[in-house]
Chains A and B, each alone.
Chain A
Amino acid sequence: EAQVTQNPRYLITVTGKKLTVTCSQNMNHEYMSWYRQDPGLGLRQIYYSMNVEVTDKGDVPEGYKVSRKEKRNFPLILESPSPNQTSLYFCASSLFSNTEAFFGQGTRLTVV
């Protein structure tokens, strides 16, 4: 089954404690991206990747890092989380940037 898998689904952490949210896709897609969803703001793109070792900033990259060492995986790293990073995060993949995107189930992150 074609899918994008994010883990964990829910995470509560404390300010400053490094965390990683994993994302994996099984469709051999080239394009992957991370979004955060906040009420009234829709989805905002954090980072995207065109292919292995090719990543670029989206609209709201501050406080986040990503890596793309393998085609299927695109982890999101928060080196020092802060309360303003409390949000719902989605990973997505698509064959190219202008084709249908498949979204993960989401990760609800709370930073206290």
Chain B
Amino acid sequence: AQSVAQPEDQVNVAEGNPLTVKCTYSVSGNPYLFWYVQYPNRGLQFLLKYITGDNLVKGSYGFEAEFNKSQTSFHLKKPSALVSDSALYFCAQGVGSARQLTFGSGTQLTVLP
């Protein structure tokens, strides 16, 4: 069975500093990976995805993620955090022809002014 781990429930970072939100996935075939963001009282919004190709994926709002097959990781990064980036972030994994999508438990990012 697929599994996605987000080891940090909470990440705090100062505005202007780089941020990283961690995600590791289970090894099973060729995974496709997503990052979604959830603002309070809203549904999830797509940030970026990896299927194949370049290990560095660029997404919305200046976010990017690095796929690392040897470490089975897909960490979300941004060079300079904004207060408006404060939200709940979810990593998700699907595999090959599988139809199911598995989400991590979420990481609450707080950017401090």
With A42-B105, A42-B106, A98-B94 known as contacts, the answer to whether A103 contacts B99 (CB < 8 A) is: no
0/1 interface trace, chain A 75-107, chain B, CB 8 Å (1 if under):
000000000000000101000011111111110
Using a Cβ cutoff of 8 Å, how many contacts connect chains A and B?
A: 63
Q: How many residues of A contact B (CB 8 A)?
A: 27
A105 contact from B42, B49, B51, Cβ within 8 A: B42
Answer whether residue A45 sits at the interface, using C-beta atoms and an 8 A cutoff.
yes
Given the known inter-chain contacts A98-B32, A98-B51, A100-B49, please indicate yes or no for A90 contacting B44, CB distance below 8 A. yes
Establish whether residues B43 and A97, one from each chain, have CB atoms under 8 Å apart when the complex forms: no
A65 contacts chain B at the CB level, 8 A cutoff: no
| B51: nearest chain-A partner, CB-CB | A98
Main secondary structure on A side of the interface with B: strand
Across the interface, do B43 and A106 meet the contact criterion of CB distance under 8 Å?
Answer: yes
| B112 at the A interface (CB under 8 A) | no
Please determine whether A42 and B104 come into contact, CB atoms closer than 8 angstroms: yes
Give Cα distance in the complex from A72 to B25, angstroms.
Answer: 32
Contact A56 B46 (CB under 8 A): no
A35 near B: Cβ within 8 Å?
yes
Residues of B within 8 A of A103 (CB): 36, 43-45
B100 within 8 A of A: yes
Check if A48 sits within 8 Å of B100, measured CB to CB: yes
Complexed CA–CA distance, A33 and B94 (Å): 13
B102 sits at the interface (CB 8 A): yes
Question: Is A104 a contact partner of B43 (Cβ separation < 8 A)?
Answer: yes
Which A residue sits closest to B96, measured CB to CB? A98
Contacts from A to B (Cβ < 8 Å): 4, 31, 33, 35, 40-45, 48, 50, 56, 58-59, 90, 92, 97-106
